[in-house]
Amino acid sequence: MAEPTSKPSAAERKRALEIVAELYRLYPDAKCSLDFTTPLELLVATILSAQCTDVLVNSVTPALFKKYRTSADYANAPLEELEQDIRKTGFYRSKAKHLKDAGQMLVERYGGDVPRTMSELTALPGVARKTANVVMGNAYGIVEGVVVDTHVGRLARRLGLTTSEDPVRVEQDLMALVPQKDWLPLSHMLIYHGRAVCQARRPLCEECTLVALCPTGQANLAAAPAPIPAKTSKKSRSAKD
């Protein structure tokens, strides 16, 4: 795994901890947004969430989880049928193949169970570090890294916690700044903040309580045009005179 971009200073760690503290205040109940009841369901939902919103995934999975209850169900599913069952999530052909192949591997290597280690999970089709971190952290309570999705990567850069576009490098930079006990909550809280305030197209810097700690927010506010003062009507001027 990649090393951090650079070793953080004490000041950088202090600022990161201040950001984390404010995120805890804003989102005390932040949690995984994907609906699941078993590690297999979370694995499937996370694979489906690639290039797709969690809301859309959650609209597809109730029927999917009712139909496919075990790893063997995915392994034995006709590929074309599985494609149609997940079609709404996009990229459904590759996702269906990943689900079917992962189901087969789970049956053959792990008795149908979802493994608990990074190396075993990332060996599954369609599973990279992000998915493995989601499953390990939320299904098993095993935290070995930070979940870096598009929201987390975007906010980490805007907040000046990393300069990298590479998710693995971003993860390493965040791990170097924040204590391990905060790695999983940080992911959830950044995702919440990315949806509510620090949106991709137009971050709501003027409403953000993190702006004093955010170099991007401060730059955006400094560059914003000054409000145009309201014109005083003739009637108003006459009354004042």
Q: Is 149 a catalytic residue?
A: yes
Question: Which domains can be identified in the chain, with CATH numbers?
Answer: 10-30+145-220 (1.10.1670.10), 39-139 (1.10.340.30)
Label residue 236 by pLDDT band (50, 70, 90): very low
Cα atoms in the 13 Å half-sphere on the side-chain side of 227 = 3
Q: Is 181 a catalytic residue?
A: no
Label residue 226 by pLDDT band (50, 70, 90): low
Q: How far apart are CA 183 and CA 21, in angstroms?
A: 13
Give the pLDDT confidence of 200-221 residue by residue, as tens digits: 999 999 999 999 999 999 999 9
Check pLDDT > 80 for residue 6.
no
What is residue 239's predicted lDDT score, i.e. its pLDDT?
Answer: 40
Q: How far apart are CA 49 and CA 196, in angstroms?
A: 19
Q: How far apart are CA 46 and CA 79, in angstroms?
A: 19
Q: State the average pLDDT for the chain.
A: 93
Check pLDDT > 80 for residue 182.
yes
Cα atoms in the 13 Å half-sphere on the side-chain side of 124 = 37
Q: Are 86 and 96 in contact (CB under 8 A)?
A: yes
What is residue 227's predicted lDDT score, i.e. its pLDDT?
Answer: 63
Give the pLDDT confidence of 61-92 residue by residue, as tens digits: 999 999 999 999 999 999 999 999 999 999 99
Catalytic residue among 54, 85, 95, 130: 130
| Nearest residue to 159 via CA among 37, 15, 43, 36 | 15
Catalytic residue among 54, 149, 173, 182: 149
